[in-house]
Structure formats: C-alpha cells, structure tokens
Structure 1
Amino acid sequence: MKPVQAQGSAHSAVLWGVAESGLELGHGDKVGTDYPVPDPRYYLAHHVTLIRLPFRMTRLQLQPGQALDPAFLQRMKAIVHEDRRAGAITVLDPHGYGFLDIDGKPADLLQDTKAAADYVDLMRRLALAFAKDENVAIGLMNEPHTGSDAAYAQLWNRAIAAIRQAGFKGVILVPHAHWGNAKDISPGRPYEGHIEDPLHNWVLELHLYYDPDGTGLYRQPIANSQVGRQRLAGAIAWSKKTGIKIFLGETGSPPGASGIAALQGVLDDVAGNPDVFWGISLWGAGKWWKPNYPMRLDPVGSTDQPQFLALEHTFGR
C-alpha cells in the first residue's frame, strides 16, 4: 500500500471534532419525529475543525438506483455549508454497519451482489453531489463487521473508483472491519486490505472505546486510565511504519474520573502524533442523546460536558 496524501486542514496538523448524531437515528423518514436534524453550532463556536455526520443511506436515496432525495440532501448540504463557514471539514458517514436496506430488510454487502452494486451507485451519486466541496471527506461505511478487511477491500475499491470518476478529489475514509476496532491493528497484525485509490488520498478509519469489551456501552467500569493508550499503541506503530494515516472516527468515555483520564490519555497521544492522525471525532454529539447517556457531549442545561472540555482543552493548547 502506498502512503496517502491525507490532505487535511490549514488550521491544524490534526482535525479535532465530534460525531454529530441525528440523520442516522430512528427508522422512519419524518423529520423531527423519526429523526432530528443535527445542529453543529455549539461545537463550531468552540472551534472544532471537524464534524462527522452519520446518516442513514436509505434516507438519502429512497430507492436503489434512483436520484438522491433532494430534501434530505439539502439538509446535509446546509450542515456542510455551516461547517465550511466556521472553518471546519465535514465527514460524510454512511452509517450502515456493512449493510444496505433493500425493501426494508438489511442486505449484507459482502453476500448480496445487487446490494453491493446499489451501494457503489449510491457512493457515486454522493460524490457527484459533493464533488465541488473542498471541505468534505467521504467515509465508505461505519463499522462493517461480517467479513475480513481483505474481503471488504474489493468492495471499497469499487466504491473508490466510482467516487473518483465522479470528480471527488478529497479524502476518502476506509473503514477497518470488525467494527473498526483500533486494538486489532499493529505492525504484527497489519491492516490487510489492498486499497487502490488513483489519488492516493485515503485514510484508515478506526474506532476506540475503553470498557472491557470495547463496545462503548460502558456497562462495566474502565479497568485503568491507560487502557485507551494501550489499545491504540499498536495502530500508532503500524501507521508510523506504513505511512498510512489514521482517522479515529469514534472514541469517547463516560464523564467520571476514570473515563476522563482514559480519554485524556488518548487525546494526548493523538496530539503528540500529528504524523499519524488525520483527525479524531468524539462520540456522541446530538440533541437526542439523553442526559444520562454515558458519552453525551451536548451541554446538559448550561453545563458543558467534561468529555468535550477535555477535547477542547487538548486542541486549544
């Protein structure tokens, strides 16, 4: 694999931001009832340089092979425009876990050839819609997990070819299989997907949580304050060896002392390795997360959340 260009922002060597939930939530298509429209203004006012925007693919394209839904696309474009005005890049995140809904049923993209073709078509249309937006990066998929990186790479390469043929020249975020788990990757266990990008402008997306099973559900306490750094160390070493940059697309912790300590360790490692990290986005921003959600980033009343304050302190140093 060739090292990537990983074009980022003029503001910082690392892009610092949050994952702004809303467009991926729920199951229906009624705005405000089935799902909310994200509002990034709080985070932009605090000078983040990246907003990751998860979205449900079947809301963007109501029928496979058909034009993108103009109303939903406009909601996405409005957020991209607001991010751009504030100097932030938007990561478009198809939040499908390696599946595409066909007639209301999830189809595994590694098993269903028609679903795979429909997915590539969707990515082509997405790239066409945002080809002129220089502050946009396109993610290929959130947390695929039914096959290996080598198996998924064949599909990702088809999508990358379609994206580039559509005229999109920005960064493409390639997901690691197995839910994006960062602790899988090290020089001894390298990323095994053979990625072909004619512009060599792709980044590997990894996710990282600190509870014992690494799910981010935080049903069990964090073992120690170094667990995040320990799980990320191998991927950092792999990136330094290969020259392939990392997007830490999801990470986050509960608000207690042990959670903040584990999160701060990871943030310090990201800040200390700008040659490794293209960017980072904390989970989870968005107004529909309840006040007791362990990783809620939106303020509760007028109180800023300690996880976001840790992020802000790190990139503001």
Structure 2
Amino acid sequence: MIRYLFAFAALLASPVATQTEHIVTGASPPAQIKICAEDTLVLKKALGREWVRADGSRAPGWPAWNDRARSNAAGNLFETVGATKLRFVGNVQGKGWVYAPVNARPCAAPVASAAVVAPAAPAAPAAPAQPAIHTARVGPLFGANLSGAEASGGDAIRPSLEDWKGYIERYGFKLIRYPFKDDRMTPARIAELKVNVAYARGKGVPVILDNHTYRWDAPAKAIAFWTGFAQNFPDDGSAILDLVNEPRGFDDPVLTNDWMQWVRDSKIIIAGLRANGIKHPIALEWPQWSATFRFDKKEGAWKACESAGCALDRDTNGPLDPLNRTYLNGHRYWDKGSSGSSQSCDITWGEGSGLDDFAAQLRRRGLKGIITEAAFGAHFGIKDNCKTIGKNAIADMKANADVLYGITWWGGGRVWPESYLFKIDGKKATRYTMPLNPYLMQLTGR
C-alpha cells in the first residue's frame, strides 16, 4: 500500500525547542485534524491555487482541504479544526509542502518531547457539519448500475425516484451509476435527473453519470456536451462524469484501438473541461470494453501500444488531468472472454478476481481507478464456479481501497426481465418489500 503522510510539527520560538510530529498514515487522511497556532501541516503536494485565496482562506465551493497526493478528491478531503486559513511556509526537503495556520489559537501547553508519537484522539470541537459525501472514506464504495435511461428504443422504463430510494435506502448501496444516452437529455430529463442526484447527494451517495453510447466523439464535441451537461450538477464529488461507456470507435477520424490517439484525445477533453470551469471528478474508459485485464499488456518498448496503460506511460505531454481528479474506469466480467454474456465463470485463469492486479498497475503509476461494471451472479443464484471469484472480487476491492474508489455492479433497474442473467433485484412487484436476496447482500459488501 502506498503510504501518504500528514504531519504536524510544533514550532516554538526558542531555538532549542524540540519538534514533535503527529503522524497519520493510511488510505485516507482523517476527516478532521485539530490544529493550533504553533502547529504546521505538511503535505506531500502543494494545495492548488484553485483551493486557496490570497488571504489563506479556502476558495468558495470547496467543502474542505484536499490531499492532492491522491487523485480521489472527493474521498481525500479533510477539515482543519481550529483554523480556517492556511499560510504557505515553504518546501522542506524530505518532507513536503509546509503550511501554518493563520487564525488558530495557541495550544494549551507545548509538547517538549522530541519523540515521534502516534496521533492522540483529542476532544476537538466539532467542525461545521458537512454532507456525508465529504467525509474521509475508510473503504471502497459498493454500488450498482441503475439502468433504463440507456435502453434500446426509448427510456420509458428509466429509474424513478422510487427506484433510487429502493437502491439506496432499502438495499444499502453507497454508489449509483446512471447510464443514459446523451441525445435523450432534454431539459425535462435533466430536471428529473437533477432531482434524483440531489436526493442521492443528501444521502451521501455519489452518482456516476454515464454517457452509455459507446461512441468516442471528437474532443470538441465531447467538451461541448459535458461542459453544458455537467453544470447542472454540483462539482463537490457527488457527481462523477463517465465520459463514454466502452468506446468502440473514433469520429476524429482514427482507427479503433489507436491507443496514442485515445490518450491524446483524453487529455484534450479533460483539459478542455477544466479550462471551462468543470471541476467534477471524471471516470475515463478505454477501448476494448474498458476491461481491467486489458489495461496493461506489458508491451515491449519496440512494440506499438496495445493498451491504455502503455499509452499513458508513453504520452508525456502534460498531465492526464490538471486537477488530478480523474479515475481510470474499468469493467470486469468473469465469463469466457469477459463478454458478460454468460453466468458461468471461466476458471481456467484461476479463481482470483484480477482486480488486485488492476489496482497494482494503477498504484505503480500513481493513478486511481473505479470499477463501473462487474457481475458474477443474479438474485436467483450464483454458479458454483463463480462463488469464490465473487468473494475474491469483494475482498480485493476492500484490500485496495487506497487506489480503487468503488464498484458499481451491473444488472440493476426495472428494465431487466426476470430471467436476465445478472439481474440484481427480485420480482418487480415485491422487489422493495421482500427479504434481501443473498446475492444482493453480497454486492453491498456485507
């Protein structure tokens, strides 16, 4: 696991004063950090200028400070209790960027010991209340796709507010992916979706807005659509932009699976959105069905790129995302060929989920990921050759929460017939009143 360090050091006026560091490590910073006038805050990356105003206060629209050493801005926010303004002190060799509080009160008594100690649990005054979405995460978010708005022929069976409530309140999912087709997003549809996203946000449940067209547009077209569409939703992490589901072709035009064109286009689109003021987290998929096991094919330097990982490694023209808020968005089915067309799992590769390998590839590159499609059973049962894989998938998500934000399982929504091989919920008439089926319980991480 990559270790990220937040440290406080007591700065006393006397030149012989000792320094005490309170060290916190783990996948996420603490949600609240008590800070006194003598303290400093050491970050692995400097706070971006979009976060801090000239007087040291946090810029409007940002609910908390952000650890930019990790790309998951929504899950790496922290509050400084006792200070609302931070002053940049300098870059300390071997530590990082040092900030001091501008308006904090002195501590009750300085600590004279030079020993490094574990962080105490002080009785800190309560910070201003924040929506649940802004608290630090201790594990991945387990969620579901709510299908219907992307259905062939029309969206008459798109998810209703009752469905959103059923999946969040009744089933207990903590993340929702909403597949839709961009040409159906009329003002009336957008207004309806805004109500549902606001409901989920009030419950602390982020929503992934998935343009489920399989169509890789030219950058200018993609920037224009998402700039207008994203402005309807808060950019505090409660809405994540899934630019396009499983891109299969390009309109620029280039050949399908031209990986270097894919990474160039991706950087242009993301930079264009950021330049237009779109600060939402982004979920970026890649050709070849965004399959996690195809993310890195370990191509030799003499070969052309055949994977997203290779393209990201070789294209060094600027960052993937200037705000560092983009997730690599993978899919994983465990049937033969990972086609998502059979409920039987192919165990010729073993009974591991492969999600740990994907996480390792992201970690090596300093990237973050999210899984937005996966399935290994249905409400009416799980094949014997999928049971261990399913358990391993959930365990691997939990074990790699430092780089995997969450997972949204496939097969949710009223649009699916009772016989659908990955159907999550039970019969339509009783789906929110009948006892929760074991498969559904497993998908929520319980």
1:87 to 201, 204, 227: 204
CA distance, structure 2, for counterparts of residue 131 and residue 158 of structure 1: 23
1:5 aligns with 2:61: no
Give, in whole Å, the separation in 2 of the partners of 1:92 and 1:174: 12
Determine if the alignment matches structure 1 residue 308 to structure 2 residue 374: no
Bigger shift: residues 40-49 or 134-143: 40-49
**Alpha-carbon distance in 1 for matches of 2:260, 2:437:** 39
Query: Shift of the alpha carbon at 1:120?
Result: 2.4
Q: Does 1:172 align with 2:282?
A: yes
Give the secondary structure class of the aligned counterpart of 2:284.
strand
Q: Are 2:353 and 2:390, in contact at CA under 8 Å, matched by a contact in 1?
A: no
State the TM-score, normalizing by the size of structure 1.
0.81
1:152 counterpart (262, 270, 281): 262
Partner of 2:35: none
Question: Could you tell me which residue of structure 1 aligns to residue 391 of structure 2?
Answer: 264
Select the residue among 150, 171, 196 that pairs with 2:320.
196
Matched, 1:239 2:362: yes
Distance in 2, matches of 1:152 and 1:98, equals 12
Deviation at 1:225, TM superposition (A): 9.6
Q: Is the CA contact 1:205–1:247 (under 8 Å) kept in the aligned structure 2? A: yes
1:90-101 pair list within 5 angstroms = 90-99=207-216
The answer to whether the 8 Å contact 2:237/2:281 transfers is no
Aligned counterparts of 2:159 and 2:205: Cα–Cα separation in 1: 18
**Judging changes above 3 Å, is the alpha-carbon distance between structure 1 residues 234 and 228 closer, same or farther for their aligned structure 2 residues?**
same
Tell me the matched-pair count.
Answer: 286
Which amino acid in the other structure matches residue 154 of structure 1?
R
Q: Does 1:36 align with 2:158?
A: yes
Q: Does 1:222 align with 2:345?
A: yes
Q: Aligned to 1:137, what secondary structure does the other structure show?
A: strand
Query: Given that residues 131 and 168 in structure 1 are in contact (C-alpha distance below 8 angstroms), is that contact kept between their aligned partners in structure 2?
Result: no
Cα offset, 1:178, TM superposition = 0.8
Distance 1:148 1:308 in 2: 38
More helix by share: 1
- Please say if 1:288 is aligned against 2:411: no
Identify if the C-alpha distance between structure 1 residues 240 and 310 changes in structure 2 by more than 3 Å, giving closer, same or farther.
Answer: same
CA change 1:306–1:295 in 2 (3 A) is farther
Give the secondary structure class of the aligned counterpart of 2:158. coil
Query: What is the CA deviation profile of residues 163-221 of structure 1, one whole-angstrom value per residue up to 9, with x for unaligned ones?
Result: 223323231111122110111134835352345311011110000000011011106x3
Residue type of the alignment partner of 1:192: A
Q: Aligned AA for 2:190? A: L
Residues 3, 241 of structure 1: alpha-carbon distance in 2 compared, 3 angstrom cutoff: farther
Cα shift at 1:27: 2.5
TM-score in terms of structure 2 length: 0.59
Match of 1:279, SS state, is strand
Is residue 329–residue 372 contact of structure 2 (8 Å, CA) maintained in 1? yes
Displacement, 1:228? 6.2
CA 307–149 in structure 1, closer or farther in 2 if over 3 Å, else same: farther
- Whether the 8 Å contact between 1:131 and 1:167 is mirrored in structure 2 is no
Structure 1 residues 228 and 78, CA, compared in 2 at 3 Å: closer, same or farther?
farther
C-alpha contact 1:140 1:156 (8 A) present in aligned 2: no
Provide the residue aligned with 2:337 in structure 1.
213
What's the % identity of the aligned pairs?
Answer: 24
Q: Residues 199 and 283 of structure 1: is their aligned pair in 2 closer, same or farther, counting only changes over 3 Å? A: same
Q: Counterpart of 1:140 in structure 2: which amino acid?
A: L
